[in-house]
Amino acid sequence: MTKHTIILQPSGSRGQVDEGMSVRSAARELGVEIESICAENATCGKCMVLIEEGRFEKYNIDSKQSNLSPVSAEERAYLERRPKLLKEKGWQIGQVRLSCQCKILGDVLINVPEESRGNKQIVRKSASNRPIEIKPAVRKYLVTMTPPNLERPIADWERLAKGLETSMRLVHGNDAVLPRWYDLDIDYQCLRTLSKTLRDSKWNVTVSVWKDKEVIAVQGGYHEESYGAAVDIGSTTVALYLCNLRTGELLAAESEMNPQIVYGEDVMSRIQYAIEHPDGLEKLHKAIISTLNKLLSKAIISANMSLRVQVAKQAPVEGEGIASDKEQERPRNDIRLEDILEMVLVGNSTMHHILLNLHPKDLGLAPFVPAIHKSVDIKARELGLHINLSGNIHVLPTIASFVGADTSAMILAEEPHKQDENWLLIDVGTNAELVLGNRKRLVCTSTPTGPALEGAHVEYGMRAAPGAMERVHIDEATLEPKYKVIGVEGWNTDHAEFKGQVKGICGSAIIDAVAELFRTGIVDSRGKFNKKLSSTSSPKGKRVREGESGWEFVIAWSEETSIGRDIPITQQDVRQIQLAKAALFTAARTLLKRSGMENPDKVILAGGFGSFIDKEKAMLIGLIPDCDLNNVYAVGNSAGDGARIALLSIEKRNEIDAVTRKVERFELPTDPEFQNQFMLATSFPHMSEPFEHIAHLIPNRVADPLAKNFMK
């Protein structure tokens, strides 16, 4: 058979292919995937390519002498339905071709534009910064059938399944491992409306297939997009991300307070509530389900609003694409709840259990065992979630009683299991989860840190909100503080007049303040106030005083506040931070020790907390292990990112399933040295660790018999 050379840009792939092969098939042979969802029927336009050479040189485009087969009637019909696109891009019919239709008759140079490339990727901000290849669990296929007649009265499902098998093979290639038509399945609720849909649409439908084996939606006509939702159920906040499953695009992000908060502030009190009340679990479960349904509706509305804005900007184009009469009635691009075909959910083990209506009792009682580790796929209707009636939900695996599906999502997003270096991932909340390791081994644990790091249980603590102090600096020489307030530009000292503007102190400012008190010698390494300062008549000591509940340092005088009172950091506040940071550090140290390591190569702080704290000050108080500060990263809502990645990639789901089966769990209370380590870790930054990377900040004047240990 005659062979011709084909070169594909921008990848530069080239090779010899048989004459007569379609450009799309030839590209696949060379490892370049070109999109197509219409089973190569010249109706979806996903596979458009630009002919760079091999057409213009010598031959007329419609001539039989061209290096490509002439533009067919179907191809021309499709392209003529997209005048706006062609005009915008400056493409002419013949230069732009449908690669499923044009056959190779001579050497050609082809450009595959970005939108036609298969294996789309999204690039995320993360410590690993790897692009994620989009391979959603739900894929769409256009299936066109010949209607049944008396000679071939084959049933509706079998007719569809045979057509679907053909479409799937065309899209995936003949060498793909796909089920035969008689092994394909259809969800029962989807089967119920199948016959009507096939007839209403004149046997021309778009079929959504889950994991390339179960049909979960059949829509009349041609529908390109499918949608999914990724959800991170936090104890405090529930965040939902509505995504386009084909492109990976984020269409809306919505969040709500977790309504379970009325039954208990933290997970332990919710577990307690479920234990003590016969209908406790039911109430907690119904609360989260109804919030999820609310978030779904909100996300749909906001996605449609922004889509309408986009559509309004474009001139309407008559007759682009194919759609059944009925479909054309509703505004183009409008997304409905039934268009959401899958949801991926993550959350800590307690949130995970309550979501699935599993009793969380044993999560809170020794030996602290979840009901299930492995990821769960169930029909959304089993939980009363109002997405497509046949849509599935996927819940990521849990690792331990206090290391939940949110940590699995964090691992998926940050990928410590693909590193040669040792990475330490920390997700700080009321409870901190820690994961340490590399491609060979991952170990994890969790520790209660208390709410101090989030600004609660601190005398003037508050959540990060307008009026909250978020940064604190203390001048070494004068011991005068300055601070930044959320909602106010610059430092307080930048303002000529700064009055009545501070309400309290949020988490990041508390860490700043404690670190600064230590750095400037106002508190010593054991966290005790230097009372001597107050007895000096120098102005340096005027902010150190004995208050109602013990010694304290005033950061804001009453006139600077909106509450009419001085805002100090108290001895009690310092103690709270000491306990929290000691817990976190000891957990990290235990993991490091068990893995035979000194310090991690990288520290990754996940969660809202990590995004706002000052890395240097966190290390100065010994919150995180010693490490080059350039290798400390704050990655934001990593659990939410992981949920989105799992939503967009079936391979990533398999990956995290496999990884979590191998993660080793350590329960801290079983570690004999825990108490001892914990005591050493209450000091700033630590009683017995050098902390080389911030050594220059550690004050040299502490009246501490163990000071020599600090400085070596």
Cβ nearer to a copy of itself, comparing 206 with 392: 392
Q: Answer yes or no: are the C-beta atoms of 570 and 614 closer than 8 Å.
A: no
Cβ nearer to a copy of itself, comparing 191 with 563: 191
Dihedral (CA of 399, 402, 405, 410) sign: negative
- Helix, strand or coil, per DSSP, at residue 539: helix
Query: Minimum distance between the CB of residue 281 and a copy of itself, rounded to whole angstroms?
Result: 10
d(CA 339, CA 243): 11
Most distant CA atoms of the chain, gap in Å:
107
Query: Minimum distance between the CB of residue 376 and a copy of itself, rounded to whole angstroms?
Result: 7
Number of Cβ within 10 Å of residue 642's Cβ equals: 31
| HSE of 549, CA atoms in CB hemisphere, 13 A | 11
- Helix, strand or coil, per DSSP, at residue 216: strand
Residue 109 belongs to what H/E stretch? strand 108-111
Count of residues for the chain?
712
Cβ nearer to a copy of itself, comparing 125 with 199: 199
Question: How far apart, in Å, do the first and last CA atoms of the chain sit?
Answer: 78
Residue 16 belongs to what H/E stretch? strand 13-18
Q: Answer yes or no: are the C-beta atoms of 313 and 307 closer than 8 Å.
A: no
Cβ nearer to a copy of itself, comparing 368 with 491: 368
- Helix, strand or coil, per DSSP, at residue 426: strand
Query: Minimum distance between the CB of residue 292 and a copy of itself, rounded to whole angstroms?
Result: 17
Q: Answer yes or no: are the C-beta atoms of 427 and 634 closer than 8 Å.
A: no
Query: Minimum distance between the CB of residue 558 and a copy of itself, rounded to whole angstroms?
Result: 50
Cβ nearer to a copy of itself, comparing 296 with 389: 389
Query: Minimum distance between the CB of residue 149 and a copy of itself, rounded to whole angstroms?
Result: 5
The 3-class secondary structure across 599-652, one letter per residue, is CCCEEEEEHHHHHHCCHHHHHHCCCCCCCCHHHEEEEECHHHHHHHHHHHEHHH
Of the candidates 488, 479, 491, which has an alpha carbon nearest to the alpha carbon of residue 545? Answer: 479
d(CA 697, CA 519): 6
Cβ nearer to a copy of itself, comparing 159 with 417: 159
Query: Minimum distance between the CB of residue 373 and a copy of itself, rounded to whole angstroms?
Result: 4
The CA-based dihedral angle spanning residues 283, 285, 290, 292, taken in that order and rounded to the nearest 10 degrees: 150
Of the candidates 66, 393, 73, 69, which has an alpha carbon nearest to the alpha carbon of residue 240? Answer: 393
Query: Minimum distance between the CB of residue 675 and a copy of itself, rounded to whole angstroms?
Result: 16
Cβ nearer to a copy of itself, comparing 98 with 403: 403
d(CA 663, CA 667): 13
Q: Would you tell me which residues interact with a copy of itself (CB under 8 A)? A: 148-151, 153-158, 182, 186, 188-189, 191-192, 194-196, 199, 356-359, 361-362, 366-374, 376, 378, 382, 398, 400-401, 657, 661, 665, 667, 669-670
Cβ nearer to a copy of itself, comparing 169 with 361: 361
Cβ nearer to a copy of itself, comparing 403 with 511: 403
Query: Which one-letter amino acid corresponds to residue 244?
Result: N
Query: Which one-letter amino acid corresponds to residue 496?
Result: A
Q: Answer yes or no: are the C-beta atoms of 22 and 47 closer than 8 Å.
A: no
Query: Minimum distance between the CB of residue 141 and a copy of itself, rounded to whole angstroms?
Result: 19
In this structure, what token pair is assigned to residue 262? 């009325």
In this structure, what token pair is assigned to residue 265? 């502030």
In this structure, what token pair is assigned to residue 479? 């011991």
d(CA 409, CA 397): 9
Query: Minimum distance between the CB of residue 180 and a copy of itself, rounded to whole angstroms?
Result: 11
Query: Minimum distance between the CB of residue 368 and a copy of itself, rounded to whole angstroms?
Result: 6
Query: Minimum distance between the CB of residue 350 and a copy of itself, rounded to whole angstroms?
Result: 14
Cβ nearer to a copy of itself, comparing 233 with 485: 233
Cβ nearer to a copy of itself, comparing 188 with 465: 188
Question: Percent helix, strand and coil across the chain, each rounded to 5?
Answer: 35, 25, 40
Number of Cβ within 10 Å of residue 636's Cβ equals: 17
Contacts of 438 (CB under 8 A, 6+ apart): 416, 417, 419, 420, 421, 422, 423
Contacts of 151 (CB under 8 A, 6+ apart): none
Cβ nearer to a copy of itself, comparing 145 with 502: 145
Cβ nearer to a copy of itself, comparing 340 with 380: 380
Cβ nearer to a copy of itself, comparing 218 with 426: 218
Query: Minimum distance between the CB of residue 143 and a copy of itself, rounded to whole angstroms?
Result: 16
Cβ nearer to a copy of itself, comparing 220 with 321: 220
Query: Minimum distance between the CB of residue 347 and a copy of itself, rounded to whole angstroms?
Result: 16
Query: Minimum distance between the CB of residue 528 and a copy of itself, rounded to whole angstroms?
Result: 35
Q: Answer yes or no: are the C-beta atoms of 237 and 230 closer than 8 Å.
A: no
The CA-based dihedral angle spanning residues 614, 617, 621, 623, taken in that order and rounded to the nearest 10 degrees: 30
Helix spans in 30-155 (H):
73-80, 83-89
How far is the CA of 178 from the CAs of 118, 165, 202, 692, in angstroms?
Answer: 18, 8, 27, 56
Query: Minimum distance between the CB of residue 361 and a copy of itself, rounded to whole angstroms?
Result: 7
Query: Minimum distance between the CB of residue 199 and a copy of itself, rounded to whole angstroms?
Result: 8
Query: Minimum distance between the CB of residue 298 and a copy of itself, rounded to whole angstroms?
Result: 27
Cβ nearer to a copy of itself, comparing 220 with 481: 220
Cβ nearer to a copy of itself, comparing 54 with 404: 404
- Helix, strand or coil, per DSSP, at residue 251: strand
Query: Minimum distance between the CB of residue 156 and a copy of itself, rounded to whole angstroms?
Result: 5
- Rounded to 5°, the CA angle 533-534-539 comes to 85
Q: Answer yes or no: are the C-beta atoms of 486 and 467 closer than 8 Å.
A: yes
Number of Cβ within 10 Å of residue 648's Cβ equals: 28
Cβ nearer to a copy of itself, comparing 363 with 515: 363
